[in-house]
Structure 1
């Protein structure tokens, strides 16, 4: 095995335990599906948050990705709920798992329609058994462009949405705003792309732009519930749906755990895994990098992230087939904790103190007591970003994205709700992981699988269009929609977090409404 690199990451394909590598990444999908690995200890380490009891007779929201009863705490800056806290913080489900797959279903109308009915039956069975998340179970089924390209080349019958003969991609939601800007049709779901700072760790190839047909997000406070849902959806019994899918990856992870005053999962599991830099993670921090990312003021309410909510964004209002749907970019990133916490053999001069990490996470000039975990600074404008770069030669991760992640003027939604200037349009769902990069992969060589644990993030976000995410992600690198670019190299330690996070995989998915989550559009094939 090669010596561990300065960033605390193992090299591609390396493993400290060759037998374990074959156990998870080889031909043992069934074992990988049945095992949660290191995450099995979570329910023993952390008491799940108290959640409001779901009303059993209340219908589920039409949005798949909605969490009907998220818990909100008032944070005192330490990452802990307090009667003196002043920062509203959302507490997401403890367990978050994503399983990606291609389809084993023949590309015929009959086969797809049978598969549609079967998958929907399995999911409805789970929803009858468990209340919604966070206390129960959330199942989100998202579809990639390869599904539509291969399985829905054209529609065979008229409907209230499309004419017979409508061909791919003409039935997909149209991004009206971007189409107007570019003078051509741009769809809300686009292939993933790379960005200026997308430079994976040494030894890894270019960012892998994946081509999965489907991704299933499972989340809730109970691991047993998540694993039962995994078995129902990907097991191969007659009442299970596994025969429909060829699993390509299993991505397991977690969030939070520290808001009640306990040691957070990020801190506990990093220490359990022996990660370099683990001792420096603040004891209540919900993520490896030591700050709270689920501040309520930075998250959209569910309807804002929908395809149809904001006038002029897409063509799904008032009666689009994908109304109540959204777009979900999904990626995997490594976090270089040794450099971030100043423990690396080189590069530690970049973030030697809390003040440097505060500047990188938020913005230059921000002052907080050392060790503060939860920060809610004022929203910055593009002009603020450029002025701070002029003054300090640097910009912050959070601050750089705010100008394009928020409404620039007040808007009244198609539902009659008024949203003020500065309302966020995205809703994050990312979660920490120790997997390298995944718990299981069907392609360990191509995915650079290793059994050696490392600090990572499965990043996912809900946005009205792919271009919304592109604009946000480009702003993270200092590129803005008006054509301006900050005078800082995108991989510089002065460019927010970019020098300590490394993206390895990307793909974009369309999340249909709950009523059309199972093999969307298959009902229109002949």
Structure 2
């Protein structure tokens, strides 16, 4: 859909989210005709898990969760020295509840989490309990040298509607006295935090192709029109994702929480689209078996609820015989004793700074689970016994560069406002995904 100014509506909305601010929010209200229900007056029915999104997100015909299209990440530093005060905790919780009253909890409404870094917890004596595996971020491959993110907190805002993420952001910054017809409290995150970084993005069929013109590192005319991500293929298959149960902390004072890793990956897809043919792209993203047997149609919707990696040869055999291994093929090796994947991906593409990138956001019970998954993705063991290079023909490693890494704890909802490192409250064990 194009308006009278010749600007595709969805491109405009993506640009508005990237720009941010009150003017962008106002412009979205005028261009995005949606009616989002307000949230409830009583929030006590909300799940204990901040990350319990799947129960209010739609699924496709195969049962795969359909991710919210628009995203904002706000990186925050606590402005006070030492341990947080109860007054500041009340301010944060009041601000968060304000936007939850304004928008219903859903993909078309608002979904959000608030998480905290190891640096935040350094202010407390004794550190985090042993039940929380929250390592400091570090480089996770011999060929990467990322900047390490150490802000105190990150808020992840998600919705199918640009005006919802922008309105939420402006309200949390104290710039909106009324949101979706609901009066906002006299409390904001910026009463307590300073915003030190802002990252934005999008995911969903057609959005990458519509927005590729704005980004360096990608041939705009080559991105498939139906692709949900810049690299042209579907991801987030149900059977290739950990469940919300699998990524939830099961014991200790942070029961019901999870850990979160956020990487910023810069994409260079000129060779991917201009030199690699379809066979090579399928082989490197999935596995050579899929490319040889025409398993994938288009972006991969025909695959159903799985990338069907079990049909591929073992990774080491593929490397020796074909000289190339697939990204999904390698990643699938990182599983637990019950054959479950270790991480739940909620990543999204971006054109922040005018470059094509991916904000790789993963949830897992402990950061070690992400490290193990990344080690499998690196394929270092494969390179030692085949002609596969450290990056060349080694999945998609040659097309991405890790610019930033950060690790965070997403506490249960009851502890989301400036949590202590050793809570003594009544956080209860959560055992069901809908809890």
Q: Distance in 2 between matches of 1:125 and 1:324?
A: 23
Partner of 2:294: 368
Q: Distance in 2 between matches of 1:190 and 1:35?
A: 39
The yes-or-no answer on 1:116 pairing with 2:55 is no
* Runs of at least 5 residues in structure 1 that lack an aligned partner in the other structure: 1-30, 75-86, 155-166, 175-186, 200-205, 259-263, 309-315, 343-347, 410-421, 437-452
RMSD: 3.2
Partner of 1:190: 135
* Runs of at least 5 residues in structure 2 that lack an aligned partner in the other structure: 1-18, 177-185, 425-435
Q: 1:143 to 1:379 in 2, by over 3 A?
A: same
Partner of 1:429: 346
The yes-or-no answer on 1:278 pairing with 2:220 is yes
Q: 1:322 to 1:396 in 2, by over 3 A?
A: same
Question: Offset of 1:173 from its aligned partner?
Answer: 3.9
CA contact (8 A) 2:67 2:203 kept: yes
Q: 1:469 to 1:275 in 2, by over 3 A?
A: closer
Partner of 1:340: 272
Q: Distance in 1 between matches of 2:344 and 2:368?
A: 15
Give the 5 Å matches for 1:143-222: 143-149=116-122, 151-152=123-124, 154=125, 167-168=126-127, 171-174=128-131, 188-196=133-141, 198-199=143-144, 206-222=145-161
1:341 aligned counterpart, secondary structure: helix
Q: 1:280 to 1:371 in 2, by over 3 A?
A: farther
Q: Distance in 2 between matches of 1:462 and 1:400?
A: 19
Question: Offset of 1:35 from its aligned partner?
Answer: 6.0
Q: 1:247 to 1:407 in 2, by over 3 A?
A: same
Question: Offset of 1:386 from its aligned partner?
Answer: 0.8
Give the 5 Å matches for 1:15-54: 33-34=21-22
CA contact (8 A) 1:113 1:522 kept: no
Question: Offset of 1:273 from its aligned partner?
Answer: 5.3
2:104 aligned counterpart, secondary structure: coil
**Matched residue pairs, number?**
388
Question: Offset of 1:335 from its aligned partner?
Answer: 1.2
CA contact (8 A) 1:252 1:435 kept: yes
Partner of 1:494: 393
2:60 aligned counterpart, secondary structure: strand
Q: 1:355 to 1:383 in 2, by over 3 A?
A: closer
The yes-or-no answer on 1:384 pairing with 2:314 is yes
Partner of 1:178: none
Question: Offset of 1:140 from its aligned partner?
Answer: 0.4
Q: Distance in 2 between matches of 1:335 and 1:71?
A: 29
CA contact (8 A) 2:121 2:421 kept: no
State the Cα deviation string for residues 446-471 of structure 1 (Å, max 9, x = none): xxxxxxx1211111000011110001
2:64 aligned counterpart, secondary structure: strand
Give the 5 Å matches for 1:246-325: 246-256=194-204, 258=205, 264-271=206-213, 276-308=218-250, 316=251, 320-325=252-257
The yes-or-no answer on 1:407 pairing with 2:336 is yes
CA contact (8 A) 1:100 1:216 kept: yes
Q: Distance in 1 between matches of 2:247 and 2:241?
A: 10
Q: Distance in 2 between matches of 1:524 and 1:471?
A: 28
Q: 1:389 to 1:143 in 2, by over 3 A?
A: same
Give the TM-score of the pair, scaled to structure 1.
0.67
Match of 1:227 among 140, 150, 166: 166
1:290 aligned counterpart, secondary structure: coil
CA contact (8 A) 1:51 1:134 kept: no
2:221 aligned counterpart, secondary structure: helix
Q: Distance in 2 between matches of 1:281 and 1:358?
A: 14
Partner of 1:104: 79
1:368 aligned counterpart, secondary structure: coil
Match of 1:518 among 376, 393, 417: 417
Q: Distance in 2 between matches of 1:465 and 1:331?
A: 16
Q: 1:227 to 1:56 in 2, by over 3 A?
A: same
Q: Distance in 2 between matches of 1:491 and 1:195?
A: 13
2:262 aligned counterpart, secondary structure: strand
Q: Distance in 2 between matches of 1:217 and 1:494?
A: 34
